Amino acid sequence: MNSGQIITTDIKAPDKDLEVLKKHFPHCFDKTGNFQLEWFKNNLTEKEINFSAESYGLEWLGKSYARLLASDPATTLLKADETHNDRPENTNSENLLIKGDNLETLKHLANAYYEKIKMIYIDPPYNTGGDGFVYEDDRKFTVKELQNLIGIDEEKAKRILDFTKQKSNSHSAWLTFMYPRLYIAKQLLKDDGVIFISIDDNEVAQLRLLMDEIFGEENFVGNIAWESKTKSQNTKDSFNKLQPKVEHIMLYAKKEQRRFKLINRGAKEYLLMDDKGNYRNYPLEVMNATGIRGRESMIFEINGILPPKGKQWKLGRDSISDFTKRGDLFVNEGKIILKMRPDDEKTELTEPFWGFLNKEIGTAESAKKELSLVLEKEDHGFETVKPTSLVNRLVFHSSDTSDIILDFFAGSGTTGDAVMQLNAEDGGKRKFILVQLPEIIDPKINKTAYDFVKSELLSKTLKEQKPTIFEITKERLIRAAKKINAELDEKNNNLETQINKLEAEIQTADTQKEIGNLREQINKNLKLKTQNNFKVFETTPIWENYDFEAEQFDSSQTLFDFGKLTESDIKSLLITWKTYDGIELTQELETVVLSAGSIVDNELKIQNSTPGTKNYITYYGNGRLYLMNKGFTTENLKALLEKIDSDKHFEPKSIIAFGYHFESKSLREISENIKTYNNKKKSDIDFITRY
């Protein structure tokens, strides 16, 4: 099968909800593929489903525009920081730091990381009414275009474009900013995944309603109150407003059923004794009887006592019957008391999920000091830092040891630091993805941070570049990794000292076993050190006029001069395409060189081969083979077909060619041969020409 695709200018987050509708209600789409809501309503009305004109929800100026932003194609490509990524310590890293607008980045990640993220933590701008949040959208729409795209009147279109083109910190601007990011983020979460969002009083009410709409009210788990400040503040509002001491951490689950990891506090105590043995008194508790929990088997009389209205017992009829039969149930002051014995329950005590808040979890003030120590700079430009201990505990309670953690408002890089620290604590293999905008540092506002980046972080070749927050994010992760690795080295030194002492003793089976255990721990620590690194990618604008030529599907057009594409440009295109095709950013493609006489694998190298050369470099991964370079010949085609037949590890399901680097006759030749060639593996292969 041969097909042409315009991908580069049409990368967007997949709309799985729309796919479900297409599957079950295909008759509700017109011939152009647009969903017709009225047809859908009529179809459901026939089945006596009532659509009320009145409903409860959150509305704001720009909501329809926010939905457009969630589905609008990305305007960027993904590019690797090769200097950083090719360093030996980063080559095999599975952690990511991405520089760029997080909405663009989320769209790029939407396919490769769809339902792969276990936990998201974000600390978005708070919209305090000052300069902490400014919404400035760079999407270019005219009033007429916006009217047609989202079906609004001219006045509303003008108002929306007004606050997107100017610095705006209104509630509407904040909601328009957050909606598309959260909408795509939900798609990235696993079914048992969760999202934590730090927020203050200014937008907590709006955020709750927004999250109810995107995630569903039933998936609200809780609102954690974190004491962010302990010191008094003298502000201009001190006399007419409460000084804020607490920030909120909103928690939602992807799906309703979700279990959190709890901390074991030791064994329960059974201090009472009767003729049957030890026991403890347990007052039978009740819980809400809503949804699926309101079961008849859990609402019944026990010795004439019913649970309160809207509640149900925590134990069912059968369990209560067992306690009654053995004489371990009695009533005391109107309460049902059960004699709970060790065999009746798990004997471990666990801390409540929010129990960590009672510990020294840190404040915003301590977090600033913590960051200062890591960067060795007292004034680092971050006023609203979160302590790593806080994020560390959130990650611990909500993820398993091999999960992916996402933070698309990375800021100072606290989440990445916290993940590395937690892995070092419990031997986990969690991976992080951080996204940070290259927000320019204003020397008038924060000269210390500006000078720090300008003089210490930017290399000589980048001295003319304007310092941004991203450089601090990156440096924090590098220094945090070094600090954690140094601590692991110190642990290993102590372990080596213990081994030396044991080896000096008379050797017994016990000492040999202990030495073996210590050496095993040393090896684990060495492996942990290899996890404390990351790869860097960034979003970069699609080349000017590229979209015109791609739309035309005509290589004779010259408005976009594809002949000027550099090696770096083709690499960016390949990275963007493979991520769109569901291949994770950290997964390297296998480089396969096709030649007339032999087929060899080589190190990754993009080249613009000249026609007539025998070797042709291709890129292979997850059943996809990419032909990105010029110079593909009939000899290379023969070598490709031979490899498909002879190499049991090489079985492409699709072959993707960069159309502008192939003549039309060459594309036809590849397509026809792939279609007609009866390969020995009997596999069907799609040939795709992509622009």
Helix (H) or strand (E) holding 213: helix 204-215
Give percent of the chain with pLDDT exceeding 70. Answer: 85
Helix (H) or strand (E) holding 470: helix 469-504
Residue 402's pLDDT is what? 95
Q: Where are the domains of the chain?
A: 142-168, 264-350, 543-690
Structure tokens at 631: 């110079």
Contact 261, 353 (CB under 8 A): no
pLDDT, one tens digit per residue, over 323-367 is 999 999 999 988 999 999 988 887 665 565 555 554 568 888 888
Question: What average pLDDT does this structure show over 199-221?
Answer: 93
Helix (H) or strand (E) holding 38: helix 37-45
pLDDT, one tens digit per residue, over 623-653 is 999 999 999 999 999 999 999 988 989 999 9
Strands 335-340 and 329-332: what pairing?
A: antiparallel
Structure tokens at 462: 């980048």
Question: What average pLDDT does this structure show over 228-245?
Answer: 65
pLDDT, one tens digit per residue, over 449-492 is 888 888 888 765 566 788 899 999 999 999 999 999 999 999 99
Residue 460's pLDDT is what? 58
| Residue 167 phi, psi (nearest 5) | -65, 120
Q: Provide the mean pLDDT of the chain.
A: 86
Q: Which residue has the tokens 């080559």?
A: 91
Residue 603's pLDDT is what? 40
Contact 629, 607 (CB under 8 A): yes
Does 236 have pLDDT greater than 70? no
Q: How far apart are CA 650 and CA 61, in angstroms?
A: 53
Q: How far apart are CA 538 and CA 182, in angstroms?
A: 20
Residue 490's pLDDT is what? 96
Q: How far apart are CA 109 and CA 184, in angstroms?
A: 9
Runs of H (alpha helix) within 139-203: 143-150, 154-165, 171-188
Q: Which residue has the tokens 């400014």?
A: 134
| DSSP structure class, residue 113 | T
Contact 200, 128 (CB under 8 A): yes
* Closest by Cα among 185, 234, 176 to 214: 185
* Residue 604 pLDDT grade (very low, low, confident, very high; cuts 50, 70, 90): very low
- Which of 68-82, 269-283, 605-619 shows the lowest mean pLDDT across its residues? 605-619
| DSSP structure class, residue 609 | P
Q: Give the alpha-carbon dihedral of 251, 253, 259, 261, to 10 degrees.
A: -40
Does 244 have pLDDT greater than 90? no
Give percent of the chain with pLDDT exceeding 90. Answer: 55
Residue that wins the pLDDT comparison between 290 and 579: 579
Q: How far apart are CA 411 and CA 121, in angstroms?
A: 12
Among 519-528, 562-571, 668-677, name the most confident range: 519-528
Query: Per the confidence metrics, is the pTM higher than 0.95?
Result: no
Does 129 have pLDDT greater than 50? yes
Q: How far apart are CA 174 and CA 138, in angstroms?
A: 15
Q: Give the alpha-carbon dihedral of 306, 312, 317, 323, to 10 degrees.
A: -80
Contact 438, 100 (CB under 8 A): yes
* Residue 1 pLDDT grade (very low, low, confident, very high; cuts 50, 70, 90): low
Q: Give the alpha-carbon dihedral of 200, 201, 206, 209, to 10 degrees.
A: 90
Contact 665, 671 (CB under 8 A): no
Q: How far apart are CA 311 and CA 286, in angstroms?
A: 6
Q: How far apart are CA 77 and CA 91, in angstroms?
A: 21
Contact 626, 620 (CB under 8 A): yes
Give CA 584 to chain center in angstroms: 12
Strands 246-253 and 220-227: what pairing?
A: antiparallel
Structure tokens at 201: 């009083």
Question: What average pLDDT does this structure show over 217-224?
Answer: 90
| DSSP structure class, residue 129 | S
End-to-end CA distance of the chain: 17
- Which of 135-139, 150-154, 214-218, 245-249 shows the lowest mean pLDDT across its residues? 135-139
Structure tokens at 666: 């060459």
Does 253 have pLDDT greater than 60? yes
Residue 606's pLDDT is what? 44
Helix (H) or strand (E) holding 658: strand 654-658
Helix 364-375 vs helix 469-504: angle between axes, to the nearest 10 degrees?
A: 80
**Alpha carbon separation from 375 to 381, 385, 461, 480 (Å, rounded):** 11, 13, 22, 9
| DSSP structure class, residue 461 | G
Structure tokens at 20: 């479900």
Helix 154-165 vs helix 143-150: angle between axes, to the nearest 10 degrees?
A: 110
pLDDT, one tens digit per residue, over 142-158 is 999 999 889 899 999 99
